[in-house]
A and B are shown apart, each in its own frame.
Chain A
């Protein structure tokens, strides 16, 4: 994966397997930041995100013997931190999720769109700096119900494939596809006021 890049993976894995404490410290220091970024994309609570990274490193240490080299070590690490973050998310007290229906397109009886989409500005709102726009989009994603937000993050941002996400979330691949589509539609609606052309 692109988010965590481990150079000279095979020698690092050999050193880690040999119980080299210096290699483990190098792993934590060099790649902890990248793993924290992944964790923060899934967990909005900063403390939870830090704990998930700690859990991930310990899990990686414990299960080093299961790394078979068929995938890149960085891919393996990425999966571990995603799983640790998902575990942390599940351990939180669950709140009832709000329905996403209001954010989905509405149709007339004949199947036409009831409220046609506004044409968006291209490339984007002129009055916002790039980092301001990024912040707004992140805040909109944050408002999505977890069951949709997580699928959106795992598929579109972490770039995991449908089957991997289905396994991680213990749902069917078809369910992943439906949730991803609904999450994107809901995000489109939430971004309408940001990207939509002001009415004259």
Chain B
């Protein structure tokens, strides 16, 4: 297995969706290739960082009052039509 092959299957590797033969080959490659081990560590950290980036209560704001009123008004109109 080359680095090209290894980096192509990282997502399936992390998901646990890799057939055992490929997993074995990738584990062997990772044990021998520091560059791919570093790449895998960075890849995992990039995924975690993207999750962390949006995991912030400060990003959750109330709806503006004028939008709330607009939604309630539109709902009232729809309710009357139906």
Contacts and interface: CB of A to CB of B under 8 A. Distances in A.
B49 A32 contact: no
Q: Main SS of the interface on chain A?
A: helix
Interface in A105-135: 105, 107, 110-113, 116-120, 122, 124, 131, 133-135
Contacts of B12: 177
Interface string B12-51: 1000000000000000000000011011011101110111
Which of B12, B56, B78 has the largest count of A CB atoms less than 10 A from its CB?
B56
A40 interface: yes
Most A CB contacts (10 A, CB to CB) among B2, B3, B11, B49 go to B49
Contact of A24 (B2, B45, B67, B72): B72
Given A111-B3, A118-B38, A137-B49, A181 B79 contact: no
Given A32-B62, A116-B35, A180-B11, A157 B75 contact: no
Interface string A64-107: 00000000000000000000000000000000000000000101
Given A33-B62, A156-B50, A57 B71 contact: yes
Contact of B11 (A119, A120, A184, A195): A184
A61 B54 CA distance: 28
Contacts of B39: 105, 113, 116-117, 188
Given A62-B78, A107-B3, A113-B3, A141 B42 contact: no
Interface of B: 2-5, 7-8, 10-12, 35-36, 38-39, 41-43, 45-47, 49-54, 56, 58-64, 67-68, 70-72, 74-76, 78-79
27 contacts: A24-B72, A25-B68, A28-B71, A32-B67, A33-B62, A36-B60, A37-B54, A53-B71, A105-B39, A111-B2, A111-B3, A112-B2, A112-B4, A113-B7, A116-B35, A122-B45, A137-B53, A141-B53, A157-B50, A180-B11, A181-B8, A181-B10, A184-B11, A184-B43, A184-B47, A191-B46, A195-B45
